[in-house]
């Protein structure tokens, strides 16, 4: 097969189907050209040394033409109370929603009506590797969310991306989120896909918080059992802004989650909590960078992983503290629960400190189920298998400690519970 020709056709079709502003068409062409030269990153690339993308390179993925919107209902997650729910099926929004208080529109519509609003986000996308180029070249839609100054938008915005049963489908999305000065918002980015179906998706997020803004962000990745998924989030935080970011990787065949966070204003705070659950032959790679470029900021990072069967987890967490970033407070921890001899974790927590007056800690732990705790539960009459499930679930659910909104707490718990079917469901939980 002529791979280059295949990608060229995909790209040409996409360009033909999307009437983009000239600057964007130009940008996409440049990105595609770079992509054609480099192709997928290989294991020789330091950033990808634990994650093999060869199978991706060997498959002819097609940009989905039309949505098969008939078979997605069973993929839909529970409703988050009082949320604004936007559903994309195979890359297409199936029902438009607007709000009087905030700007909420698709990338396609924003490009038609107000391209200047998002131009800087698209042109300033950090081109780290060829995956960025691929996304720039092929991502034509996504959500654009602008929260105006001092708006306390209390309704959670639930962005649901569903992937149905189109074989060898590919979907590339780009989301842009901006919180103006003093704005507050809660966003849930949720990917869910059909099992036993190979597809490839990338989802790029550009998020910016201006002064005093507050963002709670949930990233749920529950892709299908044969899915390839790459998620890359760029998060910029100005003075006194606050982010609570939750990242859940519960499914997918090969998943890479990247977060590039940067403090660009002082006294800002970022709490990053992650959970990854590997079963079967899943491969889940978290690549996290926190950048303390300015003084007086706080970051707290906790990633927990549960790896069973022959699954493989990768945690690369880097905290960079620049020379001027005095009084930085940075904590990072990666804890792993290994449930099988064949499961594997590569963990690399890293601190790169160039300032001298800072408080930084980091560490990683790899362990098995706590025998004491297991005996404790059994001694209460709980069957050993169920007790194990409860402990594993407990290890996972511990990441929800910082979920302050009660409706979201309930949602997260329910969602995680789906992965522990043997745990007894008590009557009052059934509602």
Report, in Å, the least distance between residue 397 CB and another protein: 4
| Strand bridging mode 283-292 / 269-278 | unpaired
Stretch that binds another protein, among 45-53, 122-130, 280-288, 384-392 (CB under 8 A): 384-392
Please count the residues of this chain forming the interface with another protein, following the rule CB under 8 A.
28
Q: Are 149 and 180 in contact (CB under 8 A)?
A: yes
406 is a contact residue toward another protein (CB under 8 A): no
Report, in Å, the least distance between residue 420 CB and another protein: 11
371 is a contact residue toward another protein (CB under 8 A): yes
Nearer to another protein, 354 or 375 (CB): 375
13 is a contact residue toward another protein (CB under 8 A): no
Nearer to another protein, 23 or 375 (CB): 375
Report, in Å, the least distance between residue 279 CB and another protein: 18
Stretch that binds another protein, among 287-295, 309-317, 345-353, 365-373 (CB under 8 A): 365-373
426 is a contact residue toward another protein (CB under 8 A): yes
412 is a contact residue toward another protein (CB under 8 A): no
Kindly identify the residues of this chain, within the stretch 386-405, that bind another protein according to CB under 8 A. 386-387, 390-391, 393-398
Question: Using the rule CB under 8 A, which residue among 54, 57, 97, 384 binds another protein?
Answer: 384
Kindly identify the residues of this chain, within the stretch 35-54, that bind another protein according to CB under 8 A. none
CA-based torsion, 90, 93, 95, 101: positive or negative: positive
Stretch that binds another protein, among 63-71, 78-86, 238-246, 385-393 (CB under 8 A): 385-393
């Amino acid at each position: 097969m002529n791979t280059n020709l295949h990608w060229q056709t995909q790209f040409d079709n996409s360009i033909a189907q999307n009437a983009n502003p000239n600057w964007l068409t130009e940008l996409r062409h440049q990105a595609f050209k770079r992509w054609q030269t480099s192709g997928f990153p290989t294991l020789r690339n330091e950033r990808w040394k634990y994650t093999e993308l060869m199978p991706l390179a060997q498959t002819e993925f097609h940009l989905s033409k039309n949505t098969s919107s008939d078979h997605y209902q069973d993929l839909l997650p529970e409703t988050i109370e009082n949320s604004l729910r936007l559903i994309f099926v195979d890359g297409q929004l199936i029902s438009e929603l607007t709000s009087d208080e905030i700007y909420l529109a698709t990338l396609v519509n924003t490009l038609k009506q107000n391209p200047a609003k998002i131009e800087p986000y698209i042109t300033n996308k950090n081109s780290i590797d060829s995956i960025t180029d691929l996304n720039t070249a092929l991502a034509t839609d996504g959500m654009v969310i602008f929260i105006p100054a001092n708006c306390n938008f209390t309704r959670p915005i639930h962005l649901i991306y569903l992937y149905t049963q189109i074989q060898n489908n590919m979907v590339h999305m780009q989301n842009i989120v901006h919180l103006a000065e003093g704005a507050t918002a809660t966003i849930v980015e949720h990917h869910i896909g059909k099992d036993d179906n190979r597809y490839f998706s990338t989802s790029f997020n550009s998020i910016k918080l201006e002064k005093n803004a507050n963002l709670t962000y949930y990233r749920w990745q529950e892709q299908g059992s044969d899915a390839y998924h790459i998620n890359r989030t760029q998060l910029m935080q100005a003075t006194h802004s606050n982010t609570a970011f939750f990242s859940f990787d519960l499914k997918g065949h090969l998943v890479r989650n990247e977060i590039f966070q940067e403090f660009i204003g002082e006294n800002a705070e970022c709490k990053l909590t992650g959970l990854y659950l590997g079963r079967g032959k899943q491969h889940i790679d978290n690549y996290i960078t926190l950048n303390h470029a300015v003084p007086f900021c706080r970051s707290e990072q906790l990633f927990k992983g549960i790896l069973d069967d022959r699954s493989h987890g990768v945690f690369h967490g880097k905290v960079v503290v620049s020379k001027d970033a005095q009084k930085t407070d940075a904590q990072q921890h990666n804890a792993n629960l290994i449930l099988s001899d064949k499961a594997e974790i590569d963990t690399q927590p890293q601190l790169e400190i160039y300032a001298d007056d800072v408080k930084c800690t980091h560490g990683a732990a790899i362990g098995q189920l706590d025998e004491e705790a297991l005996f404790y539960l059994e001694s209460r009459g709980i069957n050993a298998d169920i007790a194990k499930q409860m402990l594993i679930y407990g290890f996972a659910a511990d990441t929800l400690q910082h979920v302050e909104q009660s409706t979201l707490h309930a949602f997260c718990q329910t969602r995680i519970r789906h992965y522990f079917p043997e745990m007894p469901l008590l009557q009052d939980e059934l509602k």
